[in-house]
């Protein structure tokens, strides 16, 4: 029998109310609308023990995929394998590619825009953009958009 990962996707109506309230309390804390766990649990009407019992085990699905997003823009020479090399650099960093936009090369150069999501807080956007810029054939790498928490 195949071993399970321990994760399930369950519709909201199947989740006990206390777990939904734990998620709401976590949101209150993360948003800064409350300062303490005591304030958060009082506002959503659950006990502190329930909060601490479940806080590390429940989160909204999109939260598991969230992270800082940013966009790198740069130019690349029209060279076979160059885009693949750039994507390899991004893959090694652990960033998730959200979108890729490339213009048709004019005079042997194409403009490229790649939107990325960084889940691992240890990933440095500056280091990633430098690594891409070091590849021969890549020019003018710029971080044109940033989400919160990007280093």
18-37 residue pLDDT tens: 999 999 999 999 889 999 99
| pTM of model > 0.75 | no
Residues 75-99: b if buried by 16+ CB within 10 A, e if exposed: ebeeeeebbebbeebbeebebbeee
86-145 residue pLDDT tens: 999 999 988 889 999 999 999 999 999 999 988 776 777 888 899 999 999 999 898 876
In whole angstroms, give the CA distance from residue 122 to residue 120.
5
Statement: residue 64 has pLDDT above 50: no
Which one of 3.30.70.260, 1.20.1280.290, 3.40.30.10, 3.40.630.30 gives the CATH number of domain 67-146? Answer: 3.30.70.260
Statement: residue 68 has pLDDT above 50: yes
């Amino acid at each position: 029998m195949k071993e399970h990962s321990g994760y399930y996707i369950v519709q909201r109506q199947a989740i006990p109310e206390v777990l939904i309230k734990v998620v709401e309390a976590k949101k209150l804390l993360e948003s800064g609308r409350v300062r303490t766990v005591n304030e958060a649990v009082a506002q959503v009407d659950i006990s502190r023990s329930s909060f601490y019992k479940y806080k590390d085990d429940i989160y909204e699905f999109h939260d598991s995929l969230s992270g800082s997003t940013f966009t790198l823009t740069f130019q690349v020479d029209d060279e076979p394998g160059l885009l693949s090399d750039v994507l390899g650099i991004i893959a090694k960093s652990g960033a998730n590619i959200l979108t890729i936009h490339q213009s048709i090369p004019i005079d042997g150069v194409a403009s490229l825009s790649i939107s990325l999501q960084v889940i691992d807080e240890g990933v440095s956007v500056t280091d990633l953009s430098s690594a891409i810029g070091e590849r021969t054939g890549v020019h003018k790498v710029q971080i044109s958009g940033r989400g919160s928490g990007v280093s």
